[in-house]
């Protein structure tokens, strides 16, 4: 080989090596396209936090956090949310409309006849066990009309009775994406529902800011009376021109939310083509909160000079990251006891395309804690607090241990 060819090859290898992410105990992977959003992802902006400064990759003055991933179950069809069953073990939702036990893969609930899962963003999304009576609530795409619906069914001997299912709420969907409707009971025992903006790109009908639409919102429903589909919680503070179910507006595609011990809600909201965001708001302040979409993406105005974009009434995210290094779509998440700081809670979340996992806490902000080869579609936990992560690409669920 000539000297010139050797030098060219050496320079190319050095350049490639410089672009690789820092190694952790979990191997990084090449980026893939976001099959959930189906949108082109530019890579031109550095990773930033809500204050606009570079995001650190390790907690200062502490031992670096290590992640251990252990496969638990495989050969699943597009696995998503993991949750605790009444007996304390865990189950995973398959997008096609099936819920399987993690222990042996047996079917706990089969809704395939009722669910439309033909699109990458339609299917069975989420479940929530009632805190006050033996019922299961499910959120899914209804096969008959492709609406996003929340329904309830009684539990008999710790298993759902699908023959007794009844409708809670139905939300029509104009497009095939941003249809997910994650649900969970809050500490106030009300049912919270997070809805996407209806889909397409850039929210063409501006549903996120339309307070007469249930799309792009957080809804809060009182479902304690099984004789009616739902009621508006007593004393729910709502602005005069808002539908009474709505407690927050301005979301694009909230892909999971959860609650913290300090009575806060966190929401992971998928961005358009630049920034992914994590929001944290106290439940007391949630009613009338505007998270900004489509005026803002993350903490930035989408267009300079956009009316109302600089409105101080809009709520900024606590952390954002950019579409660089293969990042494209935020996946929340779980609330965990902070692994290094006693008495503090943290939120872990990941990216669907790059497999990077972050941890956010109110003291340190957002930190990268692992780079994986997973296509992270959801996190979850069992009754003992064990954390799981779903890998959409390989159809598996892994146990996640923080060391």
pLDDT per residue of the chain (403 residues) written in tens, 0 to 9: 444 443 333 334 333 333 333 323 353 333 333 333 333 333 322 233 332 333 344 444 468 899 999 999 999 999 999 999 999 999 999 999 999 999 999 999 999 999 999 999 999 999 999 999 999 999 999 999 999 999 999 999 999 999 999 999 999 999 999 998 999 999 999 999 999 999 999 999 999 999 999 999 999 999 999 899 999 999 898 788 999 999 999 999 999 999 999 999 999 999 999 999 999 999 999 998 999 999 999 999 987 667 788 888 999 999 999 999 999 999 999 999 999 999 999 999 999 999 999 999 999 999 999 999 999 999 999 999 999 999 999 999 999 999 8
pLDDT at 64: 86
Burial of residue 170 (CB within 10 Å: 0-12, 13-18, 19+) is middle
**What distance in Å separates the CA atoms of residue 124 and residue 378, rounded to the nearest whole number?**
13
pLDDT at 180: 87
CATH number for the segment(s) 24-402: 2.120.10.30
Q: Which helix (H) or strand (E) segment is 14 a member of?
A: helix 3-18
Map tokens 């009616």 to a residue. 228
Q: Is the peptide bond before 72 cis (omega within 30 degrees of 0)?
A: no
CA distance to 74, 99, 250, 328, per residue, from 51 (Å): 40, 40, 20, 20
| Three-state secondary structure call for residue 13 | helix
pLDDT at 305: 67
Rg of the chain (C-alpha set): 21
pLDDT at 26: 54
State the CB neighbour count (10 A cutoff) for residue 340.
16
Q: Partners of 246 in the beta sheet?
A: 219
From 148, 186, 185, select the one nearest 167 (Cα to Cα): 148
DSSP string over 291-324: --TTTEETTEESSTT-TTTT-TTBPPPSEEEES-
**What distance in Å separates the CA atoms of residue 8 and residue 16, rounded to the nearest whole number?**
12
pLDDT at 155: 97
| Three-state secondary structure call for residue 141 | strand
């Amino acid at each position: 080989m000539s000297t010139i060819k050797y030098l060219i090859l050496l320079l190319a290898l050095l350049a490639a090596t410089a672009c690789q992410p820092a190694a952790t105990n979990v191997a990084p992977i090449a980026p893939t396209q976001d099959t959930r959003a189906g949108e082109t992802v530019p890579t031109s902006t550095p990773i930033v936090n809500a204050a606009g400064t570079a995001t650190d990759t390790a907690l200062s003055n502490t031992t670096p956090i290590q992640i251990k991933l252990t496969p638990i179950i495989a050969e699943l069809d597009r696995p998503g949310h993991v949750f605790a069953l009444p007996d304390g073990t865990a189950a995973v939702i398959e997008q096609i409309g099936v819920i399987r036990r993690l222990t042996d893969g047996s079917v706990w609930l089969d809704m395939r006849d009722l669910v439309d899962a033909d699109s990458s963003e339609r299917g069975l999304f989420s479940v929530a066990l009632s805190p006050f009576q033996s019922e299961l609530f499910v959120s899914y795409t209804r096969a008959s009309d492709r609406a996003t619906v929340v329904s309830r069914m009684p539990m008999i001997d710790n298993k759902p009775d699908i023959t007794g299912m009844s409708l809670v709420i139905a939300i029509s969907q104009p497009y095939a994406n941003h249809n997910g409707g994650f649900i969970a009971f809050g500490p106030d025992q009300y049912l919270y529902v997070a809805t996407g903006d209806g889909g397409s790109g850039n929210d063409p009908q501006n549903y996120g800011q339309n307070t007469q639409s249930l799309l792009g919102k957080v809804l809060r429903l009182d479902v304690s009376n099984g004789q009616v589909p739902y009621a508006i919680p007593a004393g729910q503070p709502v602005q005069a021109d808002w539908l009474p179910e709505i407690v927050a507006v301005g979301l694009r595609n909230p892909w999971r939310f959860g609650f913290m011990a300090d009575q806060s809600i966190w929401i992971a909201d998928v961005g358009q083509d630049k920034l992914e965001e994590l929001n944290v708001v106290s439940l007391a302040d949630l009613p009338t909160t505007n998270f900004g979409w489509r005026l803002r993406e993350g903490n930035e105005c989408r267009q300079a000079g956009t009316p109302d974009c600089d409105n101080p009434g809009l709520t900024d995210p606590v952390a954002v990251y950019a579409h660089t290094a293969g990042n494209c779509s935020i996946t929340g998440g779980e609330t965990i006891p902070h692994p290094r700081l006693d008495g503090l809670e943290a939120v872990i979340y990941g990216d669907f395309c790059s497999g990077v996992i972050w941890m956010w806490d109110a003291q340190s902000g957002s930190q990268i804690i692992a780079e994986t080869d997973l296509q992270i579609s959801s996190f979850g936990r069992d009754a003992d607090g064990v954390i799981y992560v779903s890998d959409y690409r390989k159809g598996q669920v892994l146990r996640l241990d923080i060391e």
